[in-house]
Amino acid sequence: MLILLALLILGIVWVASALIDNDAASMESLYDLWEYYLPYLYSCISLMGCLLLLLCTPVGLSRMFTVMGQLLVKPSILEDLDEQMYIITLEEEAIQRRLNGISSMVEYQTAELERELEKVKSKKTNLERRKKASAWERNLVYPAVMILLLIETSISVLLVALNILYLLVDETAMPKGSRGSGIGNASLSTFGFVGAALEIILIFYLMVSSVVGFYSLRFFENFTPRKDDTTMTKIIGNCVSILVLSSALPVMSRTL
């Protein structure tokens, strides 16, 4: 936070000094800052974000199925939820009785039993949620979402593979070699409106996948925000990370 504050004060003093002095050298330094240094800094941040996205996005694409499986209610095929609820309730009562009978002197046993009790309560909550879910939510929403994720992932991988082959074969496909008629005069997609809408959906899908993959990486697992347990430093780190990923997303989407 002190480093961010120092950078902020440095920038304010630099701009104020250039405006107060009002000479040619000060104005030129301010012009160079706006025209050269800031775009170069943004390019460096985008490059770092692209490298990070290339790590996060494949992990996120593979983790999306697991995450959606945790958020949605799975179909109960060949499962007796009432019997599972009965077993879980018995386990919870047994652990609770053991906790009440253990002396407070044995701290490690108490902590271990409390962890087991939390796991059993979590399983019980999931079972209660599955039991309360309607039939259409279990048997229609879950398969439809999984099929949609599979289709989006397949289309993303296919488009990336085709575009990489196109970049290798045709030099004019590179951004520096393309000479279009300008934004708004021609469609950027080969398939017109439908292709543009599909690309927009895929870009949003890549954005969500990159965020999921970012928090799934081992190095950034501790960055995950938790309710009533997130420090200000961790919040600043999350904001910086999301901004870096956001600045690199258009570059990666345009290239891939």
Residues 9-63: tens digit of each pLDDT: 988 887 888 778 777 777 777 777 777 888 888 888 888 888 888 888 888 888 8
The angle at the Cα of 250, spanning 246 to 256, to the nearest 5 degrees, equals: 125
Residues 79-96: tens digit of each pLDDT: 666 777 778 888 888 877
CA distance readout (Å), 34 to 20, 22, 46 = 17, 16, 17
Higher pLDDT, 91 or 106: 91
Chain-wide mean pLDDT for the chain? 78
Which range has the worst mean pLDDT, 110-119, 148-157, 233-242? 110-119
Q: Where are the domains of the chain?
A: 1-73+188-255, 74-147
- pLDDT category at 177 given cuts 50, 70, 90 is very low
CB-based contact 120:127 (threshold 8 Å): no
CB-based contact 125:88 (threshold 8 Å): no
Instruction: Output the CA torsion 173→175→178→180 (10° steps).
Output: 120
